[in-house]
Amino acid sequence: MTTITSNWQAVSAAVDAAAQAAGRTPGTVGLLAVSKTFPAAAVREAYLAGQRAFGESYVQEALDKMAQLADLPLEWHFIGPLQSNKTRLVAEHFAWVHGVDRLKIAERLSAQRPASAPPLNVCIQVNVSGEATKSGVSPEQVEELARAVAALPRLRLRGLMAIPAPADDMAAQHMPFAHLRALQEKINAHGLTLDTLSMGMSHDFVAAIAEGATLVRVGTAIFGQRDYGGAI
Ligand SMILES: *Cc1c(COP(=O)(O)O)cnc(C)c1O
């Protein structure tokens, strides 16, 4: 068994165990394998272990891997910061985009999504307390942005995403995730139907699952330490 295979099995089991511990139905928490900076061969190994959805942060790197892995039925998620000049490639090649935090970016993605493809799944990044990056819409403005994104024809607004700053203390880990879930509940109470909470990474996915994550984004715990691009 390769390291990636055994890592993947351990992470999958930990995700299921965390879901069960939280009283949630196993299988309601999806695992996104974050393969940024790792070669196509590593993605292929994770696929053979049973993984289908992969997260990438750099457009050109992702396109290179997609070309090398075109024989596999993979689902690609763009999870990096998205600049205007990259929206077309993302709209054309990915199934999901996490981290939309401006209407202008969402409008471009909708306009550029090919008619032949299903609507692009989108999560809005929220800058909840202790956000590790400066990206993300403020909690005060997320509902207004959600309404505008939900109205775009070629997007399917799925939910919210956050990248809290790393915290060792479990209570500190829980807080931003609980905040994101509360925002989702408030928005849904006002008539939208967000079904996704994209939150939790290698160091904090257990806390995220306890707070309702439906999709955890795990890189290091599956593929190992990144030589570069590790910051976010
Ligand atoms: C890199 C990255 C991850 C994975 O982080 P790990 O700590 O390696 O699990 C998750 N989400 C986003 C947005 C990332 O950029």
- 107-138 pLDDT per residue, tens: 999 999 999 999 999 999 999 976 667 789 99
Question: Is residue 75 pLDDT above 80, yes or no?
Answer: yes
In a domain, 152, yes or no: yes
Residues 6+ apart with CB under 8 A from 127: 101, 134, 135, 136, 137, 138, 139, 162
CA of 98 relative to ligand 1 center, distance in Å: 12
What digits encode the pLDDT tens for the residues 164-193? Answer: 988 889 899 999 999 999 999 999 999 999
* pLDDT for 231: 47
Q: Quick one: what percent of the chain has pLDDT higher than 70?
A: 96
In a domain, 229, yes or no: no
Beta carbons of 60 and 36 less than 8 angstroms apart: no
pLDDT at 145 over 80: yes
**Contact by Cβ (8 Å): 8, 33:** yes
Q: How confident is the model at residue 232 (pLDDT cuts 50, 70, 90)?
A: very low
> Which pLDDT belongs to residue 27?
87
Nearest to 99 by CA among 44, 54, 158, 174: 158
Global pTM value: 0.96
- Cα(52) to ligand 1 centroid in Å equals 17
Average pLDDT, the chain: 95
Q: The domain spanning residue 29 has which CATH number?
A: 3.20.20.10
Q: 32 alpha carbon to ligand 1 midpoint, in Å?
A: 10
Distance CA 17, CA 205 (A): 11
Where do the H-state alpha helices sit in the chain?
3-21, 40-49, 59-68, 87-93, 103-112, 142-150, 170-189, 205-210, 220-223
Does a structural domain hold residue 66?
yes
Residues with CB under 6 A from ligand 1: 34, 36, 57, 79, 163, 201-203, 217-221, 232
Copy the structure tokens of residue 123. 């999560």
Give the residue, by CA position, lying nearest to ligand 1 atom 4. 219
Q: What are phi and psi of 98, to 5 degrees?
A: -100, 145
Instruction: With respect to residue 228, please indicate whether it lies within any of the assigned structural domains.
Output: no
User: Parallel, antiparallel, or unpaired for β 53-56 and 30-34?
Assistant: parallel
- Measured in angstroms, how far is the CA atom of residue 81 from the centroid of ligand 1? 12
Residue with CA closest to ligand 1 atom 6: 219
- Is position 18 within any domain? yes
* 215 domain-assigned: yes
Mutate to test the pocket of ligand 1, among 206, 217, 218, 222 (most ligand atoms within 8 A of CB): 217
Give distance in angstroms: CA of 117 to centre of ligand 1. Answer: 27
What does the DSSP assignment read for 67-127?
Answer: HHTTTS--EEEE-S---GGGHHHHHHH-SEEEEE--HHHHHHHHHHS-TTSPPEEEEEEB-
Domain count of the chain?
A: 1
| 232 lies in some domain | no
Q: What is the pLDDT of residues 76-114, one digit of tens each?
A: 999 999 999 999 999 999 999 999 999 999 999 999 999
Domain of residue 92, residue span: 3-223
Could you tell me if residue 231 is inside a domain?
Answer: no
